[in-house]
């Protein structure tokens, strides 16, 4: 069916559920274990464009690194946040699914079906 890319974290139940949903729908999935191979700032910028989100919307504020790095500072630029997310990929909300030139956050997992 459709070839899709999923930025996946095996430890995350939403990520596992989204991947299972895609596979049940017959999608050929390119699984990117983004904790092992973090996306670059450029990749994150492209993902944000496809998601229609800002870096602040995609960042996981509950992660330890968020507080440790002072990422709640409103003076930080979009690039500052993207650089932090690339260096500390646990800060990236997940899963992100890319298909047909669009991206969607799999929260809830069914939300990705609209881009297939």
| Alpha-helical runs (H) found in 54-108 | 55-58, 64-68, 78-87
* Token pair listed for 10: 């095996």
* Peptide bond connecting 95 to the previous residue in cis, omega within 30 degrees of 0: yes
Which of 12, 31, 35, 116 is labelled catalytic?
A: 12
Is 27 an active-site residue?
no
* Token pair listed for 57: 């919307």
Residue 32: HSE in the Cβ half-sphere, 13 Å Cα cutoff: 16
- Catalytic (active-site) positions: 12
């Amino acid at each position: 069916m459709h070839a899709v890319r999923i930025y996946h974290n095996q430890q995350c139940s939403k990520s596992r559920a989204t991947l299972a949903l895609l596979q049940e729908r017959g999608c050929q999935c390119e699984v990117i274990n983004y904790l092992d191979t973090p996306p670059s700032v450029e990749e994150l910028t492209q993902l944000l464009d496809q998601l229609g989100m800002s870096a602040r919307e995609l960042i996981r504020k509950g992660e330890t690194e968020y507080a440790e790095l002072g990422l709640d500072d409103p003076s930080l630029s979009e690039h500052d946040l993207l650089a932090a997310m690339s260096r500390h990929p646990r800060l990236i909300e997940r899963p992100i699914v890319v298909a047909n030139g669009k991206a969607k956050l799999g929260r809830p997992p069914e939300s990705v079906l609209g881009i297939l």
